[in-house]
Every structure is written in C-alpha cells, then in structure tokens.
Amino acid sequence: MHGRLFSDRDLWRLIIPLAIEQVLLCTVGAVDTMMVSSLGEECVSGVSLVDMVNNFIIHIFSAIATGGAVVASQYLGAKQEQTARDSAKQLIKTTAAVAIVCMIITETFQRFIIRGLFGELSDGVMASSMTYFRITALSFPIIAVHASCSALFRSMNKTNITLLSSLISNIVNVAGNALLIYVVKWGVAGAAIATVFARFCAMVMLLILLTNKNNTIYITLRNWGHANWILVRKILAIGIPSGIENGVFQFGRLVVVGIIAGFGTTQIAANAVANNIDYFGCVVGSAFSLASITVIGQAVGFGDEEQIRYYVKKIMTMAYKAHIIWNIILFILTPFLLGFYELSEETTRLAVWLIIIHNGFGMLLWPMSFVFPNVLRAMNDVRFTMFASIGSMIVWRLGFSYILGKTLAWGALGVWTAMVIDWCCRIICFTWRYKSNRWRKYAFPKSNPQVEVTPQQKALS
C-alpha cells in the first residue's frame, strides 16, 4: 500500500478556506442585495431577474472549470506535472472562448432573452434589467477565467488563495456599490460597474499568482496559441455533461419558483426567506463538494483503487459530521435570523416549517445527494450523474411539486417535500452506481478492454 496522498491536516487545510469562502459569498451577497434595494423596488426586481440569467450562465463556466479541475487533479496525482500545466492553459482558453460567445449572444439579444424568460415587464423594471444586463454581460469572460483559475488553485490544494481572492472581490464590490450608488448616484449602472470591477480585480490577482513558477501548476505565454485538442476534449468530456446537469437543475428551480408563485404572497415570502436561510445550511457541504474534486481526482490520477475508496469514505464521513454540526448551530440561530425579516406570524410559521424540512432532512440526505456526485465526477463518471440528476429533477422534484403542491393543495410544503423525495432518488442512484463498481471503467480506462484509448491519450494519461 502506498502512503496516503492527504493527511487529515491536509484535508482540513483544503476544506476550511472553502467553507469560509462559501459563508463569505452568502453573507456578502445578502449585504449586496440590501444595498441595491435602496434604489427602489423596480431596480431590485430588474437586478434580481438578470441575476437569475447570469447565475444560469455562470454555472456553465463553473461546470467547464470543474472539468479542468478534475483533469488537472488527475495529472497531479499521476505526477505528470507538465501535462497538468498544459491542461491549465487549455482550460483558461476554453472557458474564455465559451464566455466570449455567451457575451456576444447576450449583448446582441438581451431584450429578447429578458422578454422570452420573464414576459412583459413594467417600463421601470425593463429599463433596470437592460442596463444591468448590458454591463454585467461584459464580465462573462472575466468570470470564466476567474472560475478556471480558482479551480486550478483548488486542484493544487491552495484554497487559501481562492479565499483571499473572494474576500478582495467582495470588499471591492461592497465599496464600489457604496461609492457608485450612494455617492455618485449612478443607480443600477453603478451597481453593475462595481460588480464587474470587483470580478476584474479578483481575476487579475489569480492570473498573476498563477504565473508564479513556485506553483505546481503555473502558466506562461510560451505556446499560448497552441491548442491541445486531446486535453480540450478531456476537459469538455467532464465539463459539458456537468454544464447540462447544472443548467437543467437551475431551470428546474425556476420552474419550481413559478409553481410557488401561484400559491399567494404568504407562501412566496416564506419560500424566499427559507431559501435564504437554507442557503447558509449548505455552505459547509458545498465546501466538501468542491474539495472532493481535488482529493478524489488526485487519487484517480495516482491509479490506486484502495486510495480512492479510502478517501471516498473519508470525505463523506467528514462531510456528514461537519454538515450536521453546522446545521444544528443554524437551527439554534434560526429565530435570531428570522428576526431580520419583517414577516407576519403566518409567514414566519411557514418559513420555520420549510427550514425544518430542508435542514432537518438535509442533515441526513444532502451530503450524499450533492457531495457524492462530485466524487463520481472526479472518477470521470459524469454521464451517469448527469442522467440520474436530470431524471430525478424532472420526475420527482418537478412532477411531485405539481402533484403535492397543486393537485393535493399542500402548497409550498408539498414543493419542499418533493425536493426531499428528489434527494432520496439521487442517493439511491449514486449509491447503486458506486456499489456496482461501474465507475471503475471510467476511473481506470486502460484496465478495461471495452474502453478505447488512443495512442495520444496513452501518452498523456
């Protein structure tokens, strides 16, 4: 047996900055929304609608970046550091190219996109949406490059750098909002410019740090124009299914919000508040989800099945313990957090029940539903996770949201119950996949005679 790739200390040094980063993103995001809300309801509505579209597109960039992180981690595990560096270049160029295409499309068809998704809007909301969309769409290449650089630093276990980048970005964003909204009085345009500039600062910082040759993975301008299509295909083979899965998942969430919108103001408000608090409940689990790409990816690249199984058990055990402790703390703080919202007694009572459903069942189900699929992705088993997640979303979450929420008139409680059913289905699928050992043909393709490996791939893998 080989020595362990990661000590317990290594794992916590990887995970703790990721957890802090997720909490920071959640907290500062709420502060950012509060600052924009001072512009009035039409401005807040316009910005929130565009943010839904932007988040949908950003998930595509993040999925491709995940593909790059898996490839880079596997090459690092295989001690093929030069190939890992080459994959870094290909990842940055690929995500930047996709982002430029998305930017051109959104800048050209932004009015059509907004009307197609959200229908007829009031003049004020439409004007705010157009202004915010036009400016923030310019940052798509910036977001893509930043996501790629962050993924590469995570693959090197340097999550403290991504935490620093996130901290700087959020400080600049809040300061920029304060200056451009309250002092210069640029309104929605000021909020958009502050967001773009903050993202630009974070991207430049990571790019500069990524040129440091003391890093295991670093980039240089040498052969920058050369495209290694074998590596690009490897990245996209993981990134595209993940992107489709994330895209359908985000679209499904929009459909669910649409269903809840028909239940009345009380249920809409309770759902919105519960979502905000429940997002905090997922931040620790999300950190383990990101960390699993690095840990399992390197174990796969190392080519030792015993190491893979050891770290799957290790990561999931740590994830469950941390997730449960965090959500118990959140349960205790729930009355305090609800105090920040001016809600009626009925709305507060419903919000509490929704939080209990999400965080209560989530303590048992969330890590296996959302951390474990990233474990499978790190093993290159991406198509199964895509089909299982999409199928479960359509049949159980969307289907049962309609049946329980509308047909049986359970309202928001029915929709959130359908979410738990979706989680259970995902767990059954992912557990079966792991126990069946079918992931092995993707993690160890050369050992499986049914998997064709080209001579070029043999040289690179």
* Least confident range of 87-101, 255-269, 307-321, 441-455: 441-455
pTM of the model: 0.84
116 three-class SS? helix
Chain Cα centroid distance, residue 226:
30
Q: pLDDT grade, residue 150 (50/70/90)?
A: very high
Asked if 256 and 401 touch (Cβ cutoff 8 Å), the reply is yes
Q: What is the pLDDT, as a whole number, of residue 461?
A: 36
User: Is residue 124 over pLDDT 50?
Assistant: yes
Q: What is the pLDDT, as a whole number, of residue 225?
A: 67
Q: What is the pLDDT, as a whole number, of residue 194?
A: 92
Percent pLDDT > 90 in the chain is 55
Q: What is the pLDDT, as a whole number, of residue 151?
A: 92
Asked if 269 and 347 touch (Cβ cutoff 8 Å), the reply is yes
Alpha helices, DSSP H, located in 119-228 = 123-136, 140-155, 159-177, 187-210
Longest Cα–Cα distance in the chain: 67
Q: CA-to-CA distance for 290 and 285, rounded, in angstroms?
A: 9
Q: CA-to-CA distance for 456 and 78, rounded, in angstroms?
A: 16
DSSP code string of 15-78: HHHHHHHHHHHHHHHHHHHHHHHTT-HHHHHHHHHHHHHHHHHHHHHHHHHHHHHHHHHHHHHT
Q: What separation, in Å, do the N-terminal and C-terminal C-alpha atoms of the chain show?
A: 22
Quick: pLDDT tens for 269-326: 888 788 878 888 999 999 999 999 999 999 999 988 999 999 999 999 999 999 999 9
Quick: pLDDT tens for 159-178: 999 999 989 988 998 899 89
In the predicted model, what is the mean pLDDT of residues 47-75? 85
Q: pLDDT grade, residue 125 (50/70/90)?
A: confident
Q: CA-to-CA distance for 193 and 364, rounded, in angstroms?
A: 41
Q: What is the pLDDT, as a whole number, of residue 187?
A: 87
Q: CA-to-CA distance for 404 and 263, rounded, in angstroms?
A: 12
Q: What is the pLDDT, as a whole number, of residue 449?
A: 35
**Token duo for residue 96:** 């930047």
Quick: pLDDT tens for 350-375: 999 999 999 999 999 999 999 999 99
Quick: pLDDT tens for 197-249: 999 999 999 999 999 999 999 988 776 667 788 888 889 888 889 888 888 88
**Token duo for residue 319:** 């994830």
Q: pLDDT grade, residue 448 (50/70/90)?
A: very low
Q: What is the pLDDT, as a whole number, of residue 126?
A: 87
- Phi-psi region at 183: left, alpha or beta (left = phi > 0; alpha = psi -120 to 50): alpha
Q: CA-to-CA distance for 453 and 461, rounded, in angstroms?
A: 10
| CA geometry: angle 406, 410, 413, nearest 5 deg | 115
Radius of gyration of the chain (CA): 22
- For residues 51 and 147, the model is more confident at 147
Q: What is the pLDDT, as a whole number, of residue 228?
A: 82
Structural domain spans, the chain: 8-227, 241-444
In the predicted model, what is the mean pLDDT of residues 89-107? 93
In the predicted model, what is the mean pLDDT of residues 106-110? 91
Q: How many CA atoms lie within 13 A of 113 on its CB side?
A: 22
**Token duo for residue 197:** 């500039």
Q: CA-to-CA distance for 155 and 157, rounded, in angstroms?
A: 5
Q: What proportions of the chain, in percent to the nearest 5, are helix, strand and coil? A: 85, 0, 15
Contacts of 133 (CB under 8 A, 6+ apart): 50, 53, 54, 106, 110, 113, 114
User: Is residue 458 over pLDDT 80?
Assistant: no
User: Is residue 452 over pLDDT 80?
Assistant: no
In the predicted model, what is the mean pLDDT of residues 428-437? 96
Asked if 289 and 14 touch (Cβ cutoff 8 Å), the reply is no
- For residues 34 and 122, the model is more confident at 122
Asked if 71 and 234 touch (Cβ cutoff 8 Å), the reply is yes
Mean pLDDT (the chain, rounded): 87
CA distances from 232 to 64, 72, 194 (A): 10, 12, 33
What type of residue is 394?
I
Q: pLDDT grade, residue 460 (50/70/90)?
A: very low
In the predicted model, what is the mean pLDDT of residues 6-21? 91
DSSP code string of 206-235: HHHHHT-TTSSS---STTTT---HHHHHHH
User: Is residue 345 over pLDDT 90?
Assistant: no
Length of the chain: 461
Q: pLDDT grade, residue 14 (50/70/90)?
A: very high
Q: CA-to-CA distance for 203 and 152, rounded, in angstroms?
A: 13
Quick: pLDDT tens for 178-188: 999 889 989 88
Q: CA-to-CA distance for 166 and 153, rounded, in angstroms?
A: 13
Q: CA-to-CA distance for 226 and 243, rounded, in angstroms?
A: 25
CA torsion, ordered 80, 240, 54, 412, to nearest 10 deg: -120
- For residue 307, what is the enclosing H or E element? helix 305-338
User: Is residue 134 over pLDDT 70?
Assistant: yes
